[in-house]
Structure 1
Amino acid sequence: MSLRLRLLLLIGISLSLLWGAVAIWMLRSLDDEVHQTLDQRLAMSAQMVAGLMSQNPAAWDGRSHTQDKSALSMPSMAKGFDCQITSLRGDVIMRTPGATVDAVAMRKPGYSERVIKGERWRSYTFETDSLRVTTADRLAERDLLLQNVAIAAVVPFVVAMIGSLIVLWFGVKSGLLPLERLRQALARRTPETMTPISERAMSRDLMPLVTTLNTLLQRVHVTIHRERRFTSDAAHELRTPLTAIKTHLQVTRITQGKDAALALDYAEEGVARLQRTLGQLLTLSQIEGPFSWEDGKLADAEEVARLAIRDAGASSNAAARIVFKTTGEPAPLALPQALAITALRNLLDNALRHTPAEQDIVLELQLAGNACVFRVLDQGGGLSAEELAMVKQRFWRRGSGQGSGLGLSIVAAIAERFGGTIELRPRLEGGLEASLTLPIKN
């Protein structure tokens, strides 16, 4: 079902139900008013006739005993309306021509109803000291009057409703033109088009929708750009170790002895490097993408530091070179434990890699308001201002240094995703200071 037809049905049914309920309420009120008014007419007619007769009692009192009753008659009244005047003894004094005798032959004062020859009559009897006046009318006349009034009220309503629905159909069509223009604008786009939709020709009511669409397009553009960058980075970085592994394996085919064993060692080293690079690329892709890292573990800052030290020194006794300084205050971090350990371990790995083996590095843990600061102080060669500007870029390495060049990129991505920061600055005594600031859970 189209939106236009749905709106038309919704509004049409709502109007029909609303105005139908109002019409029923008005007709019921009109029915009560008509019956009450016609009852008052019966009563007033009887009282008026009794008043007129009482003004000249001699004119009818003497003739009522000497003349034939049928000779005394009243003028013809309204159609369906009968009247009869009788004495209290029951003698008929006057009666409207063609009156239904049973309808006006009432003896009890007040209103009453009866069925005469299949027709319902309503009568009213009024008594004075010497007269009894009865007026009566057919209820069918009342029903016909109400029917005519209902037709007069319903026909214009139905015509107006049909006309309103026709006007509403074209009005809805005109009102939905901005949606049609938006549909056409989206239909003309290619899959590669991620530019925002122009808001100049859009209705003010569609602005929230257009804004939401533009926000979605921006997110899709960022996602596609991130995936393309990941693919490009992976292809660029994996080409070298794959080529080296292939070369060393070819060497093992054509050599024997120590040369073949050395080539296999080189190939194994290339596989390990390839594995590390792939792992870091996948980690970076998950951090930047819509991935849930919730592991249900409380990330305490001191525990994160100790686990990161253990992981950083897993390959050798490097953990003994890390001097850990902490205030001992508990600080629950507002990010998953696995990511906090990964970020800090990468900083420690970099520091261990660039610091001479005979020298130590320092890890300081401090609290600063609603944040926790990890400071890694190394004694390496440091970085120049130009190198500091490029060090967070993917796959950047100084010269032909070891590593994949993704460590600091991962640290920066984790910090950015959870509202933290990473700062690198040279130390006066030599080396580099890396400050990782992570938020604390309130």
Structure 2
Amino acid sequence: MNSIRQRLLFWQIGALIITCILVSVLTYQLAWQAFNRERDFAMEQIAHSVVRHGVRPRSWPATPPPAPEAASDLGRFISQIWSPQGEILYSSINRIGPPLQLAGFHEVDWSGESWHIYTLVDAQQIVQVAKTSSDRTSGFAELVPWLLVPTGLLVVVLGALIHAAVSRVLVPLDSLGRDIQRRDEKDLHPVPTQNLPEELTPLAQALNQLLGRVGGLLTRQRQVLADAAHELNTPLAAVKLQAQLARRSDDVHRKAALDELDKGIERSTHLVAQLLQMARLEPDVHQRHPRPVRCDQLAAEVVGAFSARAEACGIDLGLETSDAATVCMDPEDFRVLLNNLVDNALRHTPLGSRVDIRVRQTGSTVTLTVSDNGPGIAPAERFRALQRFVRLNPQDTTGSGLGLAIVAQIAEHYQGSIALADSPDGGLAVMVHLPAHPGHAGATVRS
């Protein structure tokens, strides 16, 4: 039973029925006690009436008539008068009847039945009144249906009112469900929350937040697809053009055309790789496995991986004296982050420059710095440099405008941040701040 309406009705009507049963049992007990008190009072009044008015004693027949079977001729009520000495003076039946009892009420078995007896002791006589218990029970049984009818009506009426109330209360929830059901995949505007009950307002607000995130995600995806299509169009067009030139050129110019073709292929490959990196960073696309990572050790591995390319570009790439700092993140994410920083520095640093990597730990923060002595980035342009597909130099055809954006996205995922500043040598210093792994102190490691 997964329906809220059915659950509410089940529990409310169930509670109503249980309450009515308890009330009925209590009412039955109270009514039975009141009924007995009333019948006892009636027997007392009969006994006192006999004492006040008296009954002339009659002679008991010498030979009483034969006793009837099962007291069928005794009636359901017997009155008797006894002398103080215990001699029967009067009986409403043709034989003695129930035996004499002490003063007060008694339950006595006589003649195969249970009798309720009241005995009144007077100075001159003893009056005893008896009535069968079954007669009393049958008399009360006639009243029981009239006790149950109001309870049944109460259950029916309140059940109908509860059903109507529950249906009315759930109208806003049904309306909210119909509103969402009518929407298509493009309709992501927030659901109205002005007239919603207080219990539904948090749900609607959470739903609006989700719709906002989904809308933002779709917008970013559409923008990325549009930018990716635009960015891929340029190198692919250049590749096609250079392939045509190589096909038509003589041997002298063919090598230059093939060199340009290689550059276009390299740029396209680099762009596709960075697009894959960005796609991998989207939520729920790739399952990450964070664990303690030594930043200085991974930095040394990245320097070794880029050393041949740096040497070919005439750039001095090195790892400065660093701290043995540890962060908790997916090693692949850290490698992608550092690869993009180094790749970005090598692409925008001229021949004969220097690129340095340094790891420092200050308290609970690890700072990874990649600095160069190249042209740098003006302070006014640094915010734009962190956005996707932004190339500050339109004439630069080597980059894609994604490197720093990928770094910023990775740092944000691990509660870190990125900052751009001037390096001591006048170039650009990119600093990535990440939370240090608890329990790992940063010792200095010389490289």
Give the TM-score of the pair, scaled to structure 2.
Answer: 0.79
Contact map agreement 1:288 1:417 (CA 8 A) in 2: no
Report the equivalent of 2:18: 17
Residue 378 of structure 1: how far off its partner (Å): 0.5
Match status 1:170 vs 2:164: yes
Describe the superposition over 1:7-51 as per-residue Cα deviations: whole angstroms up to 9, x where unpaired. Answer: 33432222112221332244245445655x37965995798689x
Report the equivalent of 1:436: 432
Deviates more, 1:413-422 or 1:142-151: 142-151
Report the equivalent of 1:413: 409
Question: Counterparts of 1:70-89 in structure 2 under 5 Å?
Answer: 80-86=76-82
Describe the superposition over 1:205-228 as per-residue Cα deviations: whole angstroms up to 9, x where unpaired. Answer: 321121111111111112211221
Report the equivalent of 1:74: none
Report the equivalent of 2:98: 105
Report the equivalent of 2:70: none
Residue 271 of structure 1: how far off its partner (Å): 3.3
Contact map agreement 1:311 1:345 (CA 8 A) in 2: no
> Unpaired segments of 5 or more residues in structure 2?
62-74, 439-447
Contact map agreement 2:24 2:151 (CA 8 A) in 1: no
**CA root-mean-square deviation:** 3.7
Q: How many residues align?
A: 419
Report the equivalent of 1:76: none
Report the equivalent of 2:297: 303
Aligned residue identity for 1:399: P
Q: Counterparts of 1:132 and 1:170 in 2: how far apart (Å)?
A: 65
Contact map agreement 2:315 2:352 (CA 8 A) in 1: no
Contact map agreement 1:299 1:332 (CA 8 A) in 2: yes
Deviates more, 1:409-418 or 1:293-302: 293-302
Match status 1:210 vs 2:204: yes
Match status 1:335 vs 2:329: yes
Contact map agreement 1:365 1:375 (CA 8 A) in 2: yes
Aligned residue identity for 2:428: L
Describe the superposition over 1:268-324 as per-residue Cα deviations: whole angstroms up to 9, x where unpaired. Answer: 543343232122112112324334543253222322322332344364548993332
SS in 1 for 2:205: helix
Contact map agreement 1:366 1:374 (CA 8 A) in 2: yes
Q: Counterparts of 1:369 and 1:433 in 2: how far apart (Å)?
A: 21
Question: Counterparts of 1:21-32 in structure 2 under 5 Å?
Answer: 21-28=22-29, 30-31=31-32
Aligned residue identity for 1:197: V
Match status 1:139 vs 2:128: no
Cα separation, partners in 2 of 1:245 and 1:265, compared to 1, 3 Å? same
Aligned residue identity for 1:21: L
Cα separation, partners in 2 of 1:48 and 1:239, compared to 1, 3 Å? same
Aligned residue identity for 1:400: Q
Question: Higher helix fraction: Structure 1 or Structure 2?
Answer: 1
SS in 2 for 1:222: helix
Report the equivalent of 1:69: 60
Cα separation, partners in 2 of 1:26 and 1:303, compared to 1, 3 Å? farther
Q: Counterparts of 1:333 and 1:423 in 2: how far apart (Å)?
A: 18
Aligned residue identity for 1:69: W
SS in 2 for 1:197: coil
Pick aligned residue for 2:359 from 360, 365, 375: 365
Contact map agreement 1:46 1:125 (CA 8 A) in 2: no
Cα separation, partners in 2 of 1:80 and 1:286, compared to 1, 3 Å? farther
Cα separation, partners in 2 of 1:292 and 1:136, compared to 1, 3 Å? farther
Contact map agreement 2:119 2:128 (CA 8 A) in 1: yes
SS in 2 for 1:82: strand
Pick aligned residue for 1:403 from 393, 399, 404: 399
Q: Counterparts of 1:410 and 1:422 in 2: how far apart (Å)?
A: 11
Report the equivalent of 1:226: 220
Q: Counterparts of 1:115 and 1:220 in 2: how far apart (Å)?
A: 88
Cα separation, partners in 2 of 1:133 and 1:441, compared to 1, 3 Å? farther
Match status 1:422 vs 2:418: yes
Contact map agreement 1:106 1:134 (CA 8 A) in 2: no
Give the TM-score of the pair, scaled to structure 1.
Answer: 0.79
Report the equivalent of 1:192: 186
Describe the superposition over 1:86-118 as per-residue Cα deviations: whole angstroms up to 9, x where unpaired. Answer: 45887421223xx5958x42256573443757x
Q: Counterparts of 2:142 and 2:250 in 1: how far apart (Å)?
A: 116
SS in 1 for 2:433: strand
Q: Counterparts of 2:328 and 2:223 in 1: how far apart (Å)?
A: 29
Q: Counterparts of 2:404 and 2:203 in 1: how far apart (Å)?
A: 39
Residue 399 of structure 1: how far off its partner (Å): 3.2
Contact map agreement 2:359 2:367 (CA 8 A) in 1: yes
> Unpaired segments of 5 or more residues in structure 1?
71-78
Pick aligned residue for 1:275 from 269, 273, 276: 269
Q: Counterparts of 1:182 and 1:115 in 2: how far apart (Å)?
A: 74
Residue 239 of structure 1: how far off its partner (Å): 1.4
SS in 2 for 1:306: helix
Contact map agreement 1:377 1:432 (CA 8 A) in 2: yes
Aligned residue identity for 1:205: E
Q: Counterparts of 1:89 and 1:308 in 2: how far apart (Å)?
A: 125
Deviates more, 1:178-187 or 1:239-248: 178-187
Contact map agreement 1:80 1:141 (CA 8 A) in 2: yes
Cα separation, partners in 2 of 1:297 and 1:175, compared to 1, 3 Å? closer
Contact map agreement 2:296 2:322 (CA 8 A) in 1: no
Identity of aligned residues (%): 26
SS in 1 for 2:281: helix
